[in-house]
């Protein structure tokens, strides 16, 4: 695992992306969080969603399959009634 600063990464992006192909690369911000750079394989696309997001998508698909949906117009009208301050700008 290699660790570099944001400044170093920014100045040598190609170099560090090449390194990230074979080992974990940690980019450290001096006054913030650190980030890990790893290659994204096509079969890893589902790792971009966390479990809560996957569960929400499954629930929404189940709602659609069971006819528990509303039109965009109906949702907009209900939202305007519940939160009128959002539409008075």
CA dihedral 21→23→28→32, nearest 10 degrees, is: 80
What residues have CB less than 8 Å from 1, skipping those under 6 apart?
Answer: 23, 24, 25, 26
pLDDT given at position 87 = 84
Give me the count of residues in the chain.
Answer: 89
pTM of the model: 0.50
DSSP state of 71: -
9-56 confidence digits (pLDDT tens): 999 999 999 999 999 999 999 888 999 998 877 556 666 788 899 999
> Helix, strand or coil for residue 24?
coil
CATH architecture of the domain covering 2-39: 3-Layer(aba) Sandwich (3.40)
How far is C-alpha 19 from the geometric centre of its chain's CA atoms?
24
Domain ranges of the chain: 2-39, 43-86
pLDDT given at position 50 = 85
């Amino acid at each position: 695992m290699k660790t570099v600063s944001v400044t170093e990464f920014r100045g040598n992006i190609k170099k560090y992306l090449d390194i990230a192909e074979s080992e974990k690369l940690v980019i450290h911000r001096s006054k913030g969080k650190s980030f890990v750079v790893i290659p994204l394989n096509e079969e890893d696309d589902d790792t971009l969603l966390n479990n809560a997001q996957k569960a929400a998508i499954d629930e929404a698909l189940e709602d659609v399959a069971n006819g528990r949906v509303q039109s965009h117009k109906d949702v907009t009208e209900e939202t305007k009634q519940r939160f009128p301050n959002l539409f008075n700008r």
